[in-house]
Amino acid sequence: SQQGEEDPQALSIQEGENATMNCSYKTSINNLQWYRQNSGRGLVHLILIRSNEREKHSGRLRVTLDTSKKSSSLLITASRAADTASYFCATDEWGAQKLVFGQGTRLTINP
């Protein structure tokens, strides 16, 4: 079963603009991770944020976590054509290491 819901399901923006994707989940979590996937194959790990963290940065990526609202957001600044991909959030619960994924956001960056 899918835990998370990503919003929007699809997003199309111009190169250079910022892209924001949101993720909501249902249960208490230990960590939340964001992944990128190109062409329906392997997932690339982007960033992990722990339940006691509120914000994390990595290069052009900014992730926030609001455990009271059970939601997270991923911001990609100054988007590039190479950022075109599907983005997934995944959560793991305390005591369980399996990841539960949302259905993903398909991001298209137009040159």
Partner 1 sequence: GAGVSQTPSNKVTEKGKYVELRCDPISGHTALYWYRQSLGQGPEFLIYFQGTGAADDSGLPNDRFFAVRPEGSVSTLKIQRTERGDSAVYLCASSLEYNEQFFGPGTRLTVL
Interface with partner 1 (CB under 8 A): 1-2, 4, 30-31, 33, 35, 40-45, 48, 88, 90, 96-104
Q: How far is the CB of 86 from partner 1 (least distance, A)?
A: 9
Which CB atom, from 83 or from 92, has the smaller least distance to partner 1? 92
Q: How far is the CB of 111 from partner 1 (least distance, A)?
A: 25
Which CB atom, from 103 or from 110, has the smaller least distance to partner 1? 103
Cβ partners under 8 Å of residue 84, min gap 6: 107, 108, 109
Which CB atom, from 18 or from 38, has the smaller least distance to partner 1? 38
Taking the C-alpha atoms of residue 85 and residue 20, their distance in angstroms, rounded to an integer, is 13
Taking the C-alpha atoms of residue 106 and residue 38, their distance in angstroms, rounded to an integer, is 10
> Which of 83, 84, 50, 77 has the alpha carbon at shortest distance from 64?
50
